[in-house]
Amino acid sequence: MKHLHLLIPDLFPPQDIAAEVCAGLHLQALQKLLARGAASASHSVSLEERLCTDFAAEGVAPVRAAADGLDVAGGYWLCADPVHLQMQHAQVMLWPDLALSREEAAALCANLNEHFAGMGLKFHAPHPQRWYVEMEGTPQLVTAPLPQVAWRDAKFHQPHGTDATRWQRIVTEAQMLLHAHPANQARAARGELAVNSLWLWGGGRAAELRRPFGAVGGDSELAGAFADAAGVPQMGTLSAMLDAECETGLWVCSAPRDALQRGDLHAWRVEVQRLEQEFAEPLLKALQAGRVQRLVLEVPQAGGGRRFDLTRGGTWRFWRTRQSLAQYAV
């Protein structure tokens, strides 16, 4: 492996909690990689955007839908994921990843299809937490990835664009249908969160993807879906990635982002410490030994992504003082 691209979305915590959440973390290898790399700004605000850019995809929806077993040729696809919106004071908090059964998802989607059939919209639920809407036309709509909005105030992430008003009406109609459905009423009776809305995002048409990497690995199902669609081999371990006979590789660590977005700061600390031991330490040693010639550590992040380019020679820049992860807070 000559060149490894390491993506760690939302690695840096928000400034208002950075000092507290980073206190006591032992991240010597990670701090060295950050300090001794050539730092620059990254324009990527999310993992989803980064993957679409790298693989030349129109959007996440057709790639993810194909990975879920749907035939995506010919139409325009949007992710239409089932969510729960909850009013909390002046906020509309969005809860993703609802514990739905396949039977519940199928019943709710069937109701949506019956209602919207005359509008040329077809809903699919190949996975209980991953739904899609298929159509012929191309809506003029700018959306926010669900992982960016999850467990946050959805008011600030609403779709916009020429067709935004029409799609807001569609979502409102869907909300009324979902609210009245017996499957949701049964969930409410059991004390479970109801599917009371859909989150539309990641729209696009299927296209032949390019192969920017010779291998892909990590913990991101979405990155794996992009790799499959592009015909890129997937590596199960970092060691296998470093031994791969290819020019470039992509490794994604998304667990810290998932924990931070859930607001689970203990889990974030655990995942960052694991990242140090399982990835930062081996990569620093691999660079110093010449096992990998160049490492690009990129942190896609809303409010200011960062990129750190590091070569073997750069690992010996002892004069570059290590800083706490809190110093990189956004």
Which pLDDT belongs to residue 319?
58
* Token pair recorded at residue 183: 């499957």
Condensed to tens digits (0 to 9), the pLDDT of residues 229-246 reads: 999 999 999 999 999 989
- pLDDT number for residue 61: 98
Output 189 or 319, whichever has higher pLDDT: 189
User: Which position has the token pair 């609210």?
Assistant: 179
C-alpha 314/C-alpha 330 separation (Å) is: 25
Position 4 pLDDT exceeds 70: yes
Which tokens belong to 39?
A: 């730092």
Residues whose CB is less than 8 angstroms from the CB of residue 191 and which lie 6 or more positions away in sequence, other chains included: none
Mean pLDDT for 113-118 is 94
> Measured between alpha carbons, how far is 207 from 87 in angstroms, rounded to an integer?
39
Mean pLDDT, residues 104-113: 97
> Residue 245: exposed, middle, or buried by beta-carbon count in 10 A (0-12, 13-18, 19+)?
exposed
| Tens of pLDDT, residues 300-328 | 988 778 999 998 877 767 656 778 888 98
From residue 130, give the alpha-carbon distance in Å to each of 61, 105, 133, 205, 265: 10, 9, 11, 17, 26
What mean pLDDT do residues 9-26 have?
Answer: 91
Across 70-89, average pLDDT: 94
Mean pLDDT of 107-136: 96
Where in the chain do CATH 3.40.720.10 domains reside? 3-57+211-328
Q: Which tokens belong to 42? A: 């990254």
Count the helices and strands in the chain (H runs, E runs). Answer: 13, 12
**Tally of CB atoms within 10 A around 295:** 24
Distance separating the N- and C-terminal Cα atoms of the chain: 32
Contact status, residue 226 vs residue 216, Cβ threshold 8 Å = yes
Q: To the nearest whole number, what is the mean pLDDT of the chain?
A: 93
Of residues 64 and 302, more confidence is placed in: 64
User: Within a 13 Å sphere around the CA of 80, how many CA atoms are in the beta-carbon half?
Assistant: 27
φ, ψ at 116 (rounded to 5°)? -100, 10
Amino acid 304: pLDDT: 74
Looking at CATH, the fold of the domain delimited by 3-57+211-328 is given as Alkaline Phosphatase, subunit A (3.40.720)
**pLDDT exceeds 90 at position 99:** yes
